[in-house]
Chains A and B, each alone.
Chain A
């Protein structure tokens, strides 16, 4: 049976139509087919070729006529659709991975689901909103985003079933792919949500080194648990991990927040059937729960989650490096921590304070400054104005070690070396000469001191976990396995000790929170990741290594940076209503 499709007043070159005819002849169920411009000469050819139909004869010289011989009438619709798509043109482009505007980025990206934003703060919020408008989850590395903007972004995301990780999110693992400053971690059955970057890194790398795995480690940004934000991302992420059948244990990391927010988060956790480990770093937990283990330190958090993931009872014994000794003189009573990881510094401050009982003085330059001890986070904003983060640039830590040489009170120095994507490719080699110099200077001054160091990383990280340890060790540092162990070892050296908090097991009624999760969130944590990277091109390194689809959006301020026009564009782009 012959069927005729006419495309009136449409011209195509004969070569295009011959190619089209070939395609149509390949369709299953089509006996034969021919597409031609319906000129008198072509109509004769069609008629002679057994494609004689009335419609074909009626078509004009400006019409494309397609005659199909098929026994299956339903094929005609398929053919018609194929003709339309073939004639629509748009030959396949080579694969493009760079764009300089949203439209292009969205066109060339393959089903993108995450926008990784590392733009200056004043633009980050706006582009975050654009990303959400385009149904992308947001991983916002940028800081300097106002609390109001953060709240707006997160409320919008929540309504759309999307997640805003950040602002100021340094770390994240999404379905096994590390984003921004993140280690390569084995996949596994522990799901992590954390409001702190290096906290996530410490917990996930310990987990990895002990044979466990983390498929998703979701950074919420440091302010998520503030009252003004209300833990929107934290709670959505917990629910998402709860919905993922591959997650057996959920780990929650945060600094302490207001009672109201902690109650809100705990209420969600108490609705879950899955075991949970929760750490409000800085607080001494007073109780724990059957299903929710309340941890004290990062290492304990990692171990507890690992034990729970194997169905074991939680039992954690903190450790110290036993065979480290030094003869300090009377002056040498102090610990100095020169950290690049903020949460690690916080943990050190907490342990020292709990051990010594010494309160910290109010001094923005220090995470902790007591009569004898000082912990500095060199990644704090006040040290990074105009210079790169200490995970990238060793300069500030080298300076700190240099001036420490003349500090007579020092007994122990603490150093961290955080590996992973984004970090310096060989920080140990940068720190090593400074450590040697420091130790030599002390020796010359007739003092014995101990430099303790810990490496946050895995054997899969590009820097090499073992070699980084060896380089630091070679310079005379004592390498501790975790920050917890490092701080406790330091305390032990000066004759102090932190007691593990005794926690009675309390039980609470199971709550009945709505645990429904948007499909888009389930897809985010268990589906294919496809990223639009807006800003720092370096962040695509991890994506290339992990063979994740991405588009590099070489962002520049839209509308030439004119903020009035940017607002107009945003208004128009996001406008919804009857027009």
Chain B
């Protein structure tokens, strides 16, 4: 690739991540852009994290699978759905392998609407990434719920929310710039994993006038869409995730050298990372259970092990990496307060090699988001990335029971750099 040292390669990877222009273009049915979901002969579900078998999945993730099967009408009851899953009638593909990411269980089937985020920094070669739409809170599929209310919401998203957002986004010439949206919301106290409220409101602000002006949409549907966006504080998280995926994949596709982490994700069983120099290979270790604050009546005993592709936000330098950007949530995620948040971000600066000048953090004395986790530095210093995360009940369908932070297993980073050293000829 023309680099002399790993430092040079790493610098190039990070600069490419930073120079990416993630742009929200559209919302489309997943099967229209992901061929794996459009296979008549093989029923396919996408999932979060590195590859996993159904029998390895935790209860909420299995519940999500049941929900997706009911949504797709491959079965009309739970029992039949589980039979299909247990009899290996369903093919599982990591969302990451088809240019996308999914929150929590990440379970996604053909007719889910997905956000389309494109890198528009390069006219000739546009990378595109996808992410499902945020479902709001309460009983939701991503936490393993599959009751009628969940399926109905998914159907509404498929039939109303997705198409309306698509029509609105297409009215924005050149799409909606995500970098700018993130930069603005950082100044309003978002960190893009635990807190997306400012960015979500700004998204609503930008889209509401367009939606109300749409001519071929029912008034009721417009009202419902706007109400849903107004109610969904975390709506922007999924946009940030798709942006993260396109940033990392653009860099990953162009440069296969060095030790910068290009993906972090978890499936409730294993935590997987990728580094630029090892291309598509996953390096895994057992997932941890998040530490944090629980809603009344719940404790760590109720918590599901860590899951979801949302750690892509930390991979691009926000979320737990930019903890200091969101003073409002620092206590919620289990840190002691401002000073602990400051310490967290200072620690993160020790394992990242750049600051993203597009994303200046005022509360961090105007430093840029700490970007480009160098797997070498993680192993050398023993400092693990900090991931902000929701905590799922380990029983399917009971939803979120708290929020906190979680670390990846060191093992994944150790395996990654060891494999890379071997690839470069270390005996």
Contacts and interface: CB of A to CB of B under 8 A. Distances in A.
Interface residues of B, number: 44
B350 A103 contact: yes
B360 A572 contact: no
Given A560-B382, A568-B426, A89 B366 contact: yes
Interface in A484-520: none
Contacts of B355: 88-90
B424 A579 contact: yes
Contact of B380 (A9, A12, A90, A558): A558
Interface in A2-26: 8-13, 16
B5 A575 contact: yes
A552 to B, nearest CB: 16
A89 B349 CA distance: 14
A62 B380 CA distance: 39
A231 B174 CA distance: 68
Contacts of B376: 569, 572-573
Given A9-B177, A559-B382, A572 B187 contact: no
B257 interface: yes
Contact of A559 (B6, B258, B379): B379
Contacts of B350: 101, 103-104
A575 B368 contact: no
A89 B5 contact: no
A91 B366 CA distance: 6
A579 B1 CA distance: 5
A322 interface: no
A565 interface: yes
B51 to A, nearest CB: 25
Contact of B424 (A9, A93, A560, A572): A572
A577 B420 CA distance: 14
Contacts of A91: 365-367
Contact of B379 (A90, A102, A569): A569
Contacts of B417: 565, 568-569, 572
A578 B3 contact: yes
B42 interface: no
Contacts of A101: 350, 377, 380-381
A99 to B, nearest CB: 9
A578 B368 contact: no
A453 B379 CA distance: 53
Nearest to A94: B365
B299 interface: no
Contacts of A573: 6, 376
A571 B3 contact: no
Contact of A9 (B6, B179, B421): B179
A576 interface: yes
Interface string A313-350: 00000000000000000000000000000000000000
Nearest to B377: A103
- Most chain A beta carbons < 10 A, residue from B184, B277, B376: B376
30 contacts: A9-B121, A11-B179, A12-B183, A12-B360, A13-B184, A16-B360, A62-B177, A88-B357, A89-B366, A89-B368, A90-B366, A91-B365, A558-B381, A559-B380, A559-B414, A562-B414, A565-B414, A568-B379, A569-B376, A569-B379, A569-B380, A571-B421, A571-B424, A572-B421, A573-B376, A576-B4, A578-B1, A579-B4, A579-B258, A579-B277
Interface of A: 8-13, 16, 60, 62, 87-91, 93, 100-104, 558-560, 562, 564-565, 567-569, 571-573, 575-579
